[in-house]
Chain A
Amino acid sequence: MQVEYIGAFNIVLGVIARFWPVWLGLALVMGASFTYKKRLGLYGQLFDSGVGIVGVGICLFWLFTAIFAATVAPFDPLAQVPVMKDALPGALEPVSKLVYYFGGDKLARDVFSRMVYGSQIVLIIAPAATGFALMVGITLGLPAGYYGGRIDTVLSFLANLVLAFPVILLFYLLVTPGIMDTPIPYAMAGLFFMFPIIFFSVLFWTRYKNRPDRLYILLGLTLVIGGWVYAGLVFDADPFKIVHIDPNQLNIFVAVVFASSPGVFRIVRGLVMDIKTRDYVAAAQTRGESPWYIMLWEILPNARGPLIVDACLRIGYTTILLGTLGYFGLGLAPESPDWGTAIKDASRLLRSFIHPALPPTIALMSFVLGLNLLADSLREQSMKD
């Protein structure tokens, strides 16, 4: 069967048209942000510089792409149409007359749809893993920096231990099919996912311990929601079957959190050691506040600037790590549409076909670039104050 093609100009137009929900969302959010930028604090200040606008724009673009993936992508990312094997960009699928905008890969799947669906995997795992890494790093970094002494020595030694592992070796050891048969990933997940619950419990406890009416509601909410997600993620025993994670995704998730939390720990520890010499900390100590109140309600809010910047950079770095995992075929399913796996598959065949390789590489690069620009602009804005 002969496959028909459309021209380069039509490909560009078609791709732009497919992204219509994304453009709509971008226009709405950017428009609203511009209008109210005076009232939006740090976020509003981002719109004062070109770099900031570009950064926010790229990040939002991928966020909306992930949200509207089902509308944007014309095909199922796993569907194979045999006639479209290695089809060049712009090929028309004979049955539905829809276009393979960026061509087909070696298994005859639509490269464009895979790129779009790949964004979902990245945009769920990378920010979530960064969030958990932040929780772990903050919960351990605060006491290490505040108390110093033996607790600091032990925790820093452990952090340096993990940091001394080359990331790639860590992944080869922690993300293998074999390790899923052992309890190690579940034990690590059980440990890491405790930290958010501990963090929020202590956070509310220190603040509201003299106001039981508030305390019990907040603590109850934390424990119920936290316990629910915890049960779903670690034991896969969510009674409502909403929170669910595949065992291999859990494995990746845990490995990524494990690899990036020592970095957060070091940053938080350094910030705390700097901030604890300030007058307002001394004032709180004189008032007789408990150490954890001082750490969580006096020191942490004042360390938020560098932490937000670091979180942005870290999401980008986590995206790169996920790509590395995909590139080495670790953890993610071989047919998974994530960018790293797509790059791996395509880079083996670069000699014959280059079109399946470019969309995922450019997608990954642009997303990380957006996050880095955002972080850079945030850093600049927070330094102005």
Chain B
Amino acid sequence: MLSFVIRRLGTMALTMLCLTMIVFFLINLEPNLKKLAISQTEMHTSAEQLESWLVNHGYRQNFFVRYGQWLGVVPKQPVTDPATGKPTQRFSFCNDPLEPKFSGILEGDFGCSTKFKTTVASKLFPALGATGILMLCVLLVMVPISLLIGILAGMREGSRTDRTLSVASIASTATPEYVSGVIFTVIFASWLGWLNGSAASASQGITFYNFTLPVMTLAIYGIGYIARMTRASMVEVMTQQYIRTARLKGLSFGSVVVKHALRNALIAPFTVIMLQFPWLLTGVVIVEVMFRYQGFGYTLVEAAGNNDIDLLLGCSLVSVFIVLITQLISDVGYAFLNPRIRVQ
């Protein structure tokens, strides 16, 4: 087990290295750098001035040197002020080193956000916290509801309950966040006026009034999927011999379901819920933009829209890390939950 985890962690590190390099390459394509230079300098600057801005801020160094600097394996050089010849900070707003120094991701320095004029860390981590709260609420809503639907549907395969719930869960997987978000807003905010169509005020304080719509919208897409997986797993368990034995022993149907079937039927949904995180990430981006909630997704869109290189790299790193770590947890957890795999 330990060697398995270590091997997986090794693959994970390699994957992250490759992915960040790809992201780094794509973000630093020539048109993107041009766009950044234009947005960071005054209007109507000449091409030479744009070029000199890029050179002065260190964007014209060798690709691998810059990647190494970002990673923290190559020392970051301060830029030389062309007027005075003295070393100066690249960006005055985030305390870049004045002498060559290892300062990258590995040292915990995420770099400078050019859009928000602050360090990436001070922007990214509060946003992650806000999204964490949203995710927690979503999971608290999504997991129990979807498991309940799945179990009820899978308990008696082919019954009317099963058919109704199955069609309902198919319908919910057909409703992406931007569709359900619009529909819920129309119903609950415009027509009924019960809930707030914007979660912008949730950064100050979360209330039922401003937080329900984002949570509902995010949960609904996942509910269908998890419910269908739970149903499939439940259906499979219900055909097993030991369930028949328990029934023939004279146990009531309810107690067979709760005591014998549930425990085995819930192993598969665990992996599904874990693998749902990458999907939730995309959903988070849509929902946060739609309801103007200042979290991770909102930051990602701002960073991408304004070509904020370091911030976008930080966001990519975080999201890729979340995807990979949930994959790892799902694999390890599956082996722990399922005794048949542990024996082998």
User: A167 CA to B15 CA in the complex, in Å?
Assistant: 16
From DSSP, what is the main secondary structure of chain B's interface residues? helix
Tell me how many residues of A have a C-beta within 8 Å of chain B. 46
Q: Quick check: B178 and A51 within 8 Å, CB to CB?
A: no
**A178 near B35 (CB under 8 angstroms)?**
yes
Chain B CB within 8 A of A174 CB: yes
Give how many A-B residue pairs fall within 8 Å (CB-CB).
Answer: 129
Give the Cβ gap from B229 to chain A, nearest Cβ, in Å: 14
The stretch that binds A, out of B133-141, B166-174, B257-265, is: B166-174
Other-chain residue from B26, B31, B197 in contact with A173 (beta carbon distance below 8 A): B26
In the assembled complex, the Cα of A178 lies from the Cα of B190 at a distance in Å of: 38
Once bound together, how far apart are the Cα atoms of A369 and B224, in whole Å?
12
| A324 partner residues in chain B, CB cutoff 8 A | 176, 178, 282, 286
Q: Are A164 and B182 in contact (CB under 8 A)?
A: no
Task: With A164-B324, A179-B29 as known contacts, state yes or no: A51 contacts B167, CB within 8 Å.
Answer: yes
Interface centre among A174, A358, A361, A376 (most CB of B within 10 A): A361
Q: How far is the CA of A340 from the CA of B175 in the complex (A)?
A: 13
The answer, among A328, A351, A364, A372, for a CB contact under 8 Å with B301, is A328
Which stretch (B45-53, B59-67, B313-321) binds chain A? B313-321
Residues in B266-318 with C-beta less than 8 Å from chain A: 278, 281-282, 285-286, 289-290, 297, 300-301, 304, 312, 315-316
Contacts of B327 in A (CB 8 A): 164
**A320 at the binding interface (Cβ < 8 Å):** yes
Residues of B within 8 A of A161 (CB): 15, 18-19, 22
Residues from chain B with a CB closer than 8 A to the CB of A343 are 178-179, 182
Q: Mark A163-189, 1 if CB is under 8 A from B, else 0.
A: 111111100111011110110100000
Bound-state CA distance A167–B301 (Å) is 13
| Given A161-B19, A178-B31, residue A376 in contact with residue B26 (CB < 8 A) | no
Contacts of A373 in B (CB 8 A): 167, 170
Dominant SS among interface residues on chain A: helix
Q: Considering only CB atoms, which chain A residue lies closest to B186 in the complex?
A: A354
Closest to A329 in B: B305
Q: Is B150 an interface residue (CB 8 A)?
A: no
CB < 8 Å: which of B26, B179, B304, B320 contacts A365? B179
Known: A161-B19, A364-B179. A167 touches B174 (CB 8 A): no
Report how far A185 CA is from B122 CA in the complex, Å. 35
> In the complex, are the beta carbons of A182 and B174 less than 8 A apart?
no
Contact with B along A132-165 (1 / 0, CB 8 A): 0000000000000000000000000100110111
Known contacts A178-B29, A181-B30, A373-B170; decide if A164 and B190 are in contact (CB<8 Å).
no
A327 touching B167, Cβ below 8 Å: no
Are A347 and B290 in contact, CB atoms less than 8 angstroms apart?
yes
Chain A residues near B301: list those with CB within 8 A: 172, 328
A233 interface hit (Cβ, 8 Å): no
With A165-B19, A178-B29, A369-B174 known to touch, is A357 a contact of B300 (CB < 8 Å)? no
| A198–B295 alpha-carbon span in the complex (Å) | 45
Asked whether any CB of chain A lies closer than 8 Å to the CB of B181, the reply is yes
Interface string of A255-279 (1 = CB under 8 A from B): 0000000000000000000000000
Task: From known contacts A166-B281, A351-B197, infer whether A369 and B30 are also in contact, taking CB-CB under 8 Å.
Answer: no
* Chain B neighbourhood of A333, CB < 8 A: none
Contact B186 A350 (CB under 8 A): yes
Q: Is the CB of B186 within 8 A of A164?
A: no
Look across to chain A and name the residue whose beta carbon is closest to the beta carbon of B27: A173
Closest residue to B315 on the A side, CB-wise?
A: A169
Taking the complex as formed, is A323 at the interface, i.e. its CB lies under 8 A from any CB of chain B?
Answer: yes
Determine the chain B residues whose CB is within 8 A of the CB of A167 once the complex forms: 282
Q: Which residues of the partner chain B approach A340 to less than 8 Å between Cβ atoms?
A: 178
Q: Given A173-B26, A350-B186, are A182 and B179 neighbors across the interface (CB < 8 Å)? A: no
Q: Does B202 contact A (CB under 8 A)?
A: no
**Most chain B beta-carbon neighbours within 10 Å: one of A167, A169, A354:** A169
User: Smallest Cβ distance from B24 to chain A, in angstroms?
Assistant: 10
C-alpha spacing A365/B220, complex, angstroms: 13
A376 to B182, CA, bound (A): 26
Interchain CA distance A160-B327 in the complex, whole Å: 11
B320 proximity list for chain A (CB < 8 A): 164-166
Within 8 Å CB of A178, what residues of B?
Answer: 29, 31-32, 34-35
Q: What residues of A have a CB within 8 angstroms of the CB of B32 in the complex? A: 176, 178
Query: Knowing that A169-B315, A169-B316, A358-B182 are A-B contacts, what are 19 other residue pairs whose CB atoms are under 8 Å apart, sorted by A's residue number?
Result: A51-B167, A164-B19, A165-B323, A168-B281, A172-B301, A176-B32, A177-B31, A182-B29, A323-B176, A324-B178, A343-B182, A347-B178, A347-B290, A350-B189, A368-B174, A369-B170, A372-B174, A373-B167, A376-B166
Q: Which 3 residue pairs of A and B lie closest in terms of their CB atoms, listed nearest first?
A: A178-B31, A369-B174, A172-B304
